[in-house]
Amino acid sequence: MTPMQDKQTRVEAVMKLAPVIPVVIIDEARHAVPMARALVAGGIRAIEVTLRTQAALDAIRAIAAEVEGAVVGVGTVLSGHDLAAAERAGARFAVSPGAAPGLLDAADDSALPLLPGVATASEAMILLERGYRHLKFFPAVPAGGVKLLGAWASPLPQLRFCPTGGIGLANAPDFLALPNVLCVGGSWLVPPERLAAGDWAGIEQLAREASMLRRPHA
């Protein structure tokens, strides 16, 4: 098995942990551990903490060290520097909104598996040439939604996706029903107001609802 094949296998395992990967924006690192414990208790183990705040890396470090059962990843990865910092913090996977050449080169040299974002068939084909089989479809709803992603299933049967962007509990089942979708990404599991209020029971309930979504093709 090549290093790329190994990383693709690990990404696939993360995508199959639950129907939804929560996309978390965290402003205070002290919220990270109780938030992650609430998600895990609700049946959601993979957690994407985005690099959109100063607290993100500390949050990843705390979850990796203290939350049993959590598989913490890093989101909004834009560069090799982001990738290296996340790996040092203990992230288990990385997610990017797109696929810049420099980031892909850095990912080739990193042990951290990357789930890169695409919005077009051409971008997906470029990543397929580089050995990627698991991709993020972003922004899912604005880019064409279920119809566009479903149309890729026949000409690009090798690829599996995690659509993210504009997805909630109401439309997640439509994406999960597609044969080329393993999971979806969404921010609705950790609403900012519940995170700020420390409403861990509420977050656990949202996670429980999401964990019950059906995935006929996962």
Half-sphere exposure of 36 (CA within 13 A, CB side): 26
* Catalytic residue of the set 48, 68, 147, 204: 48
Residue type, 51: L
Q: Pick from 141, 70, 83: which is nearest to 115 by CA? A: 83
Of the candidates 137, 53, 73, the residue with the CA atom closest to the CA atom of residue 99: 137
Write out the two tokens for 42: 């609700």
End-to-end CA distance of the chain: 22
Q: Active-site residue among 68, 136, 193, 204?
A: 136
Is 48 known to be catalytic? yes
DSSP 181: B
193 CB neighbour count, 10 Å cutoff = 8
* Alpha-carbon 185 to chain mean position: 6
Catalytic-residue membership of 16: no
Residues 6 or more apart whose Cβ sits within 8 Å of residue 131? 2, 4, 5, 8
Rounded-to-integer distance, Cα 7 and Cα 187, Å: 25
Active site residues: 48, 136
